[in-house]
């Protein structure tokens, strides 16, 4: 007679496969870094990145869209993405869509009203709630919207899935204390909050220990760093301290504000070898009258004086900028002043934008909004001038030897031209050839090449074979490729972003065409 001990034991149910995720980024470098935190939190909660193939097909269990509210077509981009995903979701049971970032902070529940298939909406101040909201939405079978009015958790304390192992972002502050009339960022990101220097230096050291050789310090106005704890010299001190971290080879920062840009920062840049000869200095307008209407607390001559002092100590610095064309009330004389300042500044490149009203900003209610045709015509003149200057500045690089940090994928035609791509010390984009049969450098390695010709937005080095310096950053990239299951020598992902499949960047600021 059989006993209960003899009864067959039912096999344990197979565990459910881990849910996959994809984070899509619209907007600035701050958004890109926030997306890295979102990916890190999802992985900590048990999600896994979608494969490159599934990422390209938007076939993930959870898709997060990290939005921008600054660019002219930010809402169009979001709802275009959501409209496309609605069809995908109908054919994929259990799929969830989450919307975060600046537009989520601004529009709140209006996103669900306009796109009822969205499951989660969260803001810029509470990134940490994403996994909880996703689970709550699954359980309750309804959309969850949670927008905090002030910063709940400093983003840099959150788990992070870095896009790159050889270069990384480090936030030194969040928020902004300026009141520029065209900008909605202070309303969406809040007042400036500064991290303590020790925390920042510890994060940089940790990145370096993991293989990074380049770090970019991030803030809405990086050079106002220290305002919260009352040290006006804090940013210059931070540059020197970060630049001295052993193993760090390249240090960058973005973006400073001309009004608070002081000579001690220029001296720190010049005297710290690891700080790269690159500066992004937003002009916005060359007209003092327009700058006053924008509440930009500097004037054109002060701006040009900063550039003169930077170039006196860093002669090879590549300086870039932001410019808005067609601000309300801008006259032809005002625009001529912008053209004059641009010509005098000799920017390596410029992110140029046609003004468009942002609801919630003071400028949206100003009189004398310009006709679209006028703004377009001025924009085209400015674009043509800057294109010519960019070309001339890049042509001056021909014949020079430059050191390039090899990137995973920054050149859209690299496959067709058998070139690799990277950034020079001054952040210029360089496409370089590797002779047939030569060992190709890995992303994260440094190569020395000679520039053979130039275009407005890139340099080309097709001459002698590059001199390759293999780095521990390249070792770290190779190690992660192996861990992620890629074959040795593969690079990038299906979307061409160069990051892991779980994080996709859509539309970093660029020169508007």
**Cα 251 from Cα 247, distance rounded (Å):** 11
Residue 164 φ then ψ, to 5°: -130, 145
Judge contact between 426 and 434, C-beta under 8 A: no
Give the sign of the dihedral formed by CA 81, CA 324, CA 253, CA 497.
Answer: positive
3-state secondary structure 125-175: CCHHHHHHHHHHHHHHCCCEEECCCCCCCCHHHCCCCCCCCCEEEEECEEC
CA distances to 214, 251, 429, 498 from 424, rounded to whole Å, are 12, 13, 7, 18
Three-state SS string over 369-420 comes to CCCHHHHHHHHHHHHHHHHHHHHHHHHCCCCCEEEEEECCCCCCCHHHHCEE
Q: Are 103 and 137 in contact (CB under 8 A)?
A: no
Q: Is 495 annotated as a binding residue?
A: no
Q: How far is CA 375 from CA 132, 193, 379, in A?
A: 45, 36, 6
Residue 270 tokens, joined: 């010049």
367/364 Cα distance (integer angstroms) = 9
Residue 90: CB partners within 8 Å, gap ≥ 6? none
Neighbouring CB atoms inside 10 A of 392's CB total 12
Element (H, E) at 303: helix 300-313
Closest CA to 27 of 75, 61, 60: 75
96: Cβ contacts below 8 Å, ≥ 6 apart? 61, 62, 63, 119, 120, 134, 137, 138
List residues forming the annotated binding site for [4Fe-4S] cluster: 28, 68, 102, 176, 180, 183
List residues forming the annotated binding site: 28, 68, 102, 176, 180, 183
């Amino acid at each position: 007679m059989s006993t209960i001990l003899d009864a067959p034991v039912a096999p344990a149910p197979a565990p459910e496969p881990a849910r996959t995720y994809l984070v899509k980024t619209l907007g600035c470098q701050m958004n890109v870094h926030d997306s890295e935190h979102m990916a890190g939190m999802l992985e900590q909660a048990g999600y896994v990145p979608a494969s490159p193939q599934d990422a390209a097909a938007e076939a993930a269990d959870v898709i997060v869209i990290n939005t921008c509210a600054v660019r002219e077509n930010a809402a169009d981009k979001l709802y275009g993405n959501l409209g496309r995903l609605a069809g995908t979701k109908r054919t994929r049971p259990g799929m969830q869509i989450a919307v975060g970032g600046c537009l989520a902070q601004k529009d709140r529940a209006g996103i669900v009203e306009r796109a009822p298939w969205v499951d989660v909406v969260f803001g810029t101040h509470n990134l940490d709630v994403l996994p909880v909201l996703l689970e709550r939405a699954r359980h309750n079978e309804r959309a969850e919207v949670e927008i905090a009015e002030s910063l709940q958790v400093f983003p840099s304390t959150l788990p992070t899935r870095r896009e790159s192992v050889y270069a990384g972002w480090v936030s030194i502050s969040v928020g902004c204390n300026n009141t520029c009339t065209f900008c909605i960022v202070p309303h969406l990101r809040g007042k400036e909050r500064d991290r303590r220097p020790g925390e920042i230096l510890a994060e940089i050291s940790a990145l370096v220990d993991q293989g990074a050789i380049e770090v970019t310090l991030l803030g809405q106005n990086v050079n106002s760093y220290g305002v919260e704890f009352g040290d006006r010299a804090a940013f210059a001190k931070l540059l020197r301290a970060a630049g001295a971290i052993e193993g760090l080879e390249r240090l960058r920062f973005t973006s400073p504000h001309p009004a608070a840009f002081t000579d001690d920062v220029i001296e720190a840049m010049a005297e710290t070898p690891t700080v790269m000869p690159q500066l992004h200095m937003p002009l916005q307008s060359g007209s003092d009258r327009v700058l006053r209407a924008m509440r930009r607390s500097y004037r054109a001559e002060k701006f040009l004086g900063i550039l003169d002092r930077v170039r006196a100590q860093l002669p090879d610095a590549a300086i870039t900028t932001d410019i808005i064309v067609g601000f309300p009330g801008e006259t032809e004389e005002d625009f001529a002043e912008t053209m004059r300042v641009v010509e005098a500044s000799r920017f390596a490149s410029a992110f140029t934008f046609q003004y468009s009203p942002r609801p919630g900003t003071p400028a949206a209610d100003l009189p004398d909004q310009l006709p679209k045709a006028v703004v377009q015509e001025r924009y085209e003149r400015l674009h043509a001038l800057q294109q010519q200057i960019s070309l001339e500045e890049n042509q001056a690089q021909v014949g020079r030897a430059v050191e390039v940090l090899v990137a995973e994928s920054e050149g859209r035609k690299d496959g067709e031209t058998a070139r690799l791509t990277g950034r020079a010390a001054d952040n210029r984009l360089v496409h370089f050839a590797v002779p047939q049969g030569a060992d190709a450098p890995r992303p994260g390695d440094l190569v020395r090449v000679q520039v053979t010709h130039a275009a407005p937005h890139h340099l080309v080095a097709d001459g002698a074979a590059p001199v390759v310096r293999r780095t521990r950053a390249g070792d770290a990239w190779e190690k992660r490729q192996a861990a992620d299951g890629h074959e040795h020598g593969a690079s990038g992902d299906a979307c061409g972003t160069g990051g892991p499949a779980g994080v996709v960047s859509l539309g970093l600021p660029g020169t508007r065409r």
